[in-house]
Amino acid sequence: MGSQENYRWALGQIRKKVKDHINIVSTLANSAAILKERFPDFFWVGFYFFKNDHLLLGPFQGPPACVRLSLDKGVCADSAVNKRSIVVPDVHKYPGHVPCDSRSNSEIVVPLFNKNGELKAVLDVDSKNFDDFNNIDRENLEKVAELLKPVWE
């Protein structure tokens, strides 16, 4: 899906926002907007904050989304609980998938940690296309997560 050139640009823009960081919501909102703008096939881009027993909707770009996700089912929950990135070619075949929007067909979720290695959120990206994410996307979205480490208060 994503090209290295597009990711280079997006990472540079996010790096600037992190450098000018004042508020977590503002920085994450701009980060989601940068990714959504640069990658038109990203149907939904956003963050879910980790809250011990659930995930809570944070800044995002795209249609309305689920506000609260339990940690016992779904791609975001699996990413948070297992603290690893997950690429799903077809969300409809994913056990326990939580369909916040039926137009979503593939998904990638990346966990975000603070400088101390504590889970703070997940970055969730959906596409209307099947099998739309690959290792280039995973590697670069993990770089986004790394860039965002200093913003967690």
pLDDT of res. 2: 58
pLDDT in tens, 95-147: 999 999 999 999 999 999 999 999 999 999 999 999 999 999 999 999 999 99
pLDDT in tens, 56-103: 999 999 999 999 999 999 999 999 999 999 999 999 999 999 999 999
Residue 59 CB partners (closer than 8 Å, separation 6+) = 25, 28, 29, 31, 32, 46, 47
Q: How far apart are CA 73 and CA 131, in angstroms?
A: 21
pLDDT of res. 3: 87
State mean pLDDT over 23-47: 96
